[in-house]
Amino acid sequence: MEECIFCKISKGEINVEKIYENKEFFSIPDANPVGEGHSLIISKEHFETTLDIPNKVGPELLDCIKQTAKKLMEKYNSEGFNITNNNFEAAGQIVKHVHFHMLPRKKGDGKRGIFLG
Question: What's the confidence (pLDDT) of residue 111?
Answer: 77
Low-confidence ranges of the chain (pLDDT < 70): 1-2, 113-117
Contact 64, 20 (CB under 8 A): yes
Domain count, the chain: 1
Query: How far is 101 from 86, CA to CA, in rounded Å?
Result: 9
Question: What's the confidence (pLDDT) of residue 115?
Answer: 57
Q: What is the domain range of residue 22?
A: 5-116
The reply to whether 99 belongs to the active site is: yes
Report the amino acid identity of residue 90: A
Question: What's the confidence (pLDDT) of residue 3?
Answer: 83
Q: The CATH number of the domain where 54 resides is what?
A: 3.30.428.10
Q: Which residues pair with 104 in a beta bridge?
A: 81
- Among the listed residues 38, 46, 97, 99, the single catalytic one is 99
